[in-house]
Every structure is written in C-alpha cells, then in structure tokens.
C-alpha cells in the first residue's frame, strides 16, 4: 500500500462518509450505486449529486460500473467529408469519483486494464481510467455470486480506497496517495483492535453466505476446457439459448465493441461511435462475403466459455469471469454460468467430456 502520512487503516462513520461524499460532489462528478425507484430491490450505477441517494449496501447492479470508463455507446469523433476531411475527436476530460464498487467489479476493471493495455493499447479506456478515483466497498453474496471460487472475493486492485462495513461505520483501507488525499477531506480516525475484529467477523460472515461454488479453480478449469470435448453440453445449452446477448452486455469483464459511422441526411458528415457488442449475437463473427465463423449457436456458446475461462486465462493469466453472477440473473433462458460450468467439470471428471 502506497500512502503518505495517514496510517493505512482508518475508520469513518457513515455520517462522516456521507459528508465526505457531499464535499467531493461539490468538486467533481461522482458515480455510484442507487436504487431504481420503479423497481424496488434493483440498483444501477449513475451520476449522483446527493450523497443520500447513494446505496452502499446493494447486492448487485444490472450493468457493471465499467460503463464509467467504457460507456454502452460512446461518440469517438465527428467528421465532415472533403479534401481534406475535418475530424474532431471527442474526449471527456473532467476527473470523477467512482464509488461503491464491489470486489468482483474491481477485479473486472483490473481485467480490462490488462486487456486494453495489450498492444495496441486502447487510448480511450486508458484516458478514462486516469480520470477516475475509485472507492470500493465490500458486499455480501446472493445465490448467483461465486467470486470466492475464482479467488476474487477479497479483490482490492485497482481501488484507491476500500470500505468494509463495521460497527463504527466503515473500516477504510488506503491504496493510493489520491485515495489518502480524498480521505483527508473527511473526519476519520485510526482503526483500533475492535475495528480489526469487526473486519474479520465481516469476512467470516461473507464466506459463510456463499451458496454457489465452482467445483474447480481457474487453473483447473482452463485445463479442463482445453482437454475436454463438451459438444453435447454446448448443444444442450444452445438448445435453450436465445442468442440475445444479455449475458455479455451485463458482464463486467467483457470488452468487445462494435464501431459504426452514422452519417447525417447530407451524407457529408456524421459521427463515429463504438457500442458494446456480444459474441452471442449471430452476426458477431461475420466477415467480408457474409462468411460467419460462428454461425451455429453451439459454436458461440462454446466460444463464450472458452473466452471466459481458457483463451484469456492463457493470454492474461487470469479468468475473464469474476463470478459476479450478472449473466445468470439476466438470462431469460435461465442459463446459469456456475451450474453449467460445474456440469462441464463433472462431465470431464466422469470421463464423459474427454476428447
């Protein structure tokens, strides 16, 4: 932990935390979790200008907080054709705070940091990441969460401050000088033995709440997917899947996008946008000549599992699933990624999934 003068473990009361948020909201924009007034129990990340609107004890959000850096639709530039053409790039410059990020979503941001640093680096992701200070907060799992199986339930990188709920408010871990600078604007005190005991109790409570687990760790899973032939399972999942793409578009660790040029009616000028894309959509892998590398649904299903747990694991040394459970919650066909992954593991161990 890189910190300056403050001890790295502090405690801030809930009221002092809200006061701190209020102060920060006067200086810069703040994005955080809030409840949906139209759908009680559902939460989403949004720009918030009232600290009371923040819901720090939510279970999950429909869309992940990666949208702060990589929005679902983003205008990259405007252009006017001509000789020479005029191009004006569109960049947001204002610094902001992203607050209330759970360990699984912190880990997903770290996964995207790796993927978007891979040459050629994604300048836009990196630019937007540099604009943000991140405050993480710990959570309790529901029946869809399985981050613990992937070793992510205690993830902290790349946050600047991390909060764990305790009796005195929040136990605060400081991870960067900008996190410390931010905390200096609030009233906090050094953590004592009782606060440390509270944190250990919280972690124990969290561990005890997981009801969904993978039957293999990330390394074993990559080997299983590499060695096995799970054609029957892919066919079976494909027979239920609608190819709607909701699993990818709710995923915090998916990073594929589409580019489109949208001309105005003069056909002389327009905007270039990028939008989230999904490898489960039928036209995702279409190339010139209408050739489609994954026109069959079972091939797209197989690709999804290989991408999450094998290809990117080999390439970046980590799973590109964080166990957040969003895809399973969102799937209208009730395809549950943890259940299907355990089926794959079980088939392999029984020898029915061996190539």
Smallest gap from Cβ 227 to ligand SF4, in A, equals 21
Which of 280, 292, 299 has its CA nearest to residue 242? Answer: 280
Smallest gap from Cβ 261 to ligand SF4, in A, equals 27
Which residue pairs, CB below 8 angstroms and at least 24 apart, start in 201-204? Answer: 202/138, 202/164, 202/165, 202/166, 203/154
Interaction between residue 139 and ligand SF4 (CB under 6 A) = no
For residue 44, count other CB atoms closer than 10 A to its CB: 16
Closer CB to ligand SF4, 16 or 333, in the complex: 333
Residue pointed to by tokens 């794959």: 344
Closer CB to ligand SF4, 165 or 325, in the complex: 325
Smallest gap from Cβ 217 to ligand SF4, in A, equals 15
| Contact between 54 and 93 (Cβ < 8 Å) | no
Of 36-44, 48-56, 168-176, 246-254, which part binds ligand SF4 (CB under 6 A)? 246-254
Which of 154, 165, 151, 156 has its CA nearest to residue 136? Answer: 156
Which of 59, 62, 176, 243: binder of ligand SF4 (CB under 6 A)? 243
Interaction between residue 152 and ligand SF4 (CB under 6 A) = no
Q: Which residues pair with 292 in a beta bridge?
A: 286
Of 37-45, 155-163, 173-181, 240-248, which part binds ligand SF4 (CB under 6 A)? 240-248
Which residue pairs, CB below 8 angstroms and at least 24 apart, start in 126-129? Answer: 127/91, 128/68, 128/69, 128/70, 128/92, 129/69
Closer CB to ligand SF4, 143 or 243, in the complex: 243
The Cα–Cα gap between 21 and 49 comes to 9
Smallest gap from Cβ 31 to ligand SF4, in A, equals 20
| Contact between 43 and 35 (Cβ < 8 Å) | yes
The Cα–Cα gap between 252 and 237 comes to 22
Interaction between residue 65 and ligand SF4 (CB under 6 A) = no
Closer CB to ligand SF4, 133 or 328, in the complex: 328
Interaction between residue 60 and ligand SF4 (CB under 6 A) = no
Interaction between residue 47 and ligand SF4 (CB under 6 A) = no
Which of 245, 274, 276, 318: binder of ligand SF4 (CB under 6 A)? 245
Size of the site for ligand SF4 (CB under 6 A): 26
The Cα–Cα gap between 89 and 271 comes to 10
Question: DSSP alpha helices (H): ranges in 210-311?
Answer: 218-227, 231-240, 246-249, 297-306
| Contact between 310 and 346 (Cβ < 8 Å) | no
Which of 326, 336, 344, 345: binder of ligand SF4 (CB under 6 A)? 326
Smallest gap from Cβ 75 to ligand SF4, in A, equals 26
Give the containing element (helix H, strand E) for 113. Answer: helix 103-117
Interaction between residue 242 and ligand SF4 (CB under 6 A) = yes
Closer CB to ligand SF4, 10 or 250, in the complex: 250
DSSP state of 294: T
DSSP characters over 157-224: TT-SEEEEEETTEEEEEE-SHHHHHHHTTS--EE--HHHHHHHHHHHHHHHHH-----SS-HHHHHHH
Which of 216, 221, 251, 312: binder of ligand SF4 (CB under 6 A)? 251
Closer CB to ligand SF4, 18 or 333, in the complex: 333
Interaction between residue 109 and ligand SF4 (CB under 6 A) = no
Interaction between residue 252 and ligand SF4 (CB under 6 A) = yes
> Considering only residues 280-319, where is the footprint of ligand SF4 by CB under 6 A?
280, 308
Interaction between residue 246 and ligand SF4 (CB under 6 A) = yes
Regarding beta strands 73-80 and 269-276, do their DSSP bridges make them parallel or antiparallel, or are they unpaired? antiparallel
Smallest gap from Cβ 224 to ligand SF4, in A, equals 17
Which of 99, 327, 344, 347: binder of ligand SF4 (CB under 6 A)? 327
Per CB under 6 A, residues contacting ligand SF4 are 241-247, 250-253, 280, 308, 321-327, 330-333, 335, 337
């Amino acid at each position: 932990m890189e910190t300056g003068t403050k001890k790295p473990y502090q405690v801030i009361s809930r009221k002092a935390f809200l006061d701190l948020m209020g102060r920060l909201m006067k200086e810069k924009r703040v994005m955080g979790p809030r409840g949906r007034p139209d759908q009680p129990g559902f939460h989403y990340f949004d720009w918030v200008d009232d600290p009371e609107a923040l819901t720090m004890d939510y279970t999950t959000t429909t869309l992940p907080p990666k949208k702060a850096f990589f929005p679902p639709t983003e205008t990259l530039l405007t252009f006017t054709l001509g000789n020479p053409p005029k191009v004006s790039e569109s960049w947001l410059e204002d610094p902001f705070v992203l607050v209330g990020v759970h360990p699984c979503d912190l880990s997903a941001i770290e996964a995207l940091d790796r993927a978007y640093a891979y040459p050629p680096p994604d300048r836009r992701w990196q630019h937007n990441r540099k604009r943000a200070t991140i405050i993480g907060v710990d959570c309790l799992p529901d029946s869809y969460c399985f981050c613990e199986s992937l070793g992510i339930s205690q993830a902290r990188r790349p946050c600047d401050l991390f909060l764990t709920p305790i009796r005195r408010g929040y136990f605060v871990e400081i991870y960067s000088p900008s996190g410390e600078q931010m905390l200096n604007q609030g009233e906090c005190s050094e953590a004592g033995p009782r606060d440390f005991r509270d944190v250990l109790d919280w972690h124990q409570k969290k561990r005890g709440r997981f009801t969904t687990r993978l039957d293999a760790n990330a390394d074993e899973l990559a080997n299983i997917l590499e060695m096995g032939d799970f054609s029957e399972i892919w066919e079976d999942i494909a027979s239920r899947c609608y190819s709607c793409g909701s699993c990818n578009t709710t995923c915090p660790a998916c990073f594929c996008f589409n580019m489109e040029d949208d001309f105005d009616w003069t056909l002389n000028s327009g905007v270039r946008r990028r939008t989230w894309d999904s490898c489960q959509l039928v036209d995702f892998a279409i190339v010139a000549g209408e050739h489609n590398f994954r026109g069959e649904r079972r091939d797209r299903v197989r690709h999804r599992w290989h991408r999450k747990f094998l290809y990117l694991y080999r390439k970046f040394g980590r799973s590109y699933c964080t166990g957040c459970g969003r895809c399973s919650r969102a799937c209208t066909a009730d395809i549950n990624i943890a259940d299907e992954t355990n089926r794959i593991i079980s088939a392999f161990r029984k020898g029915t999934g061996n190539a």
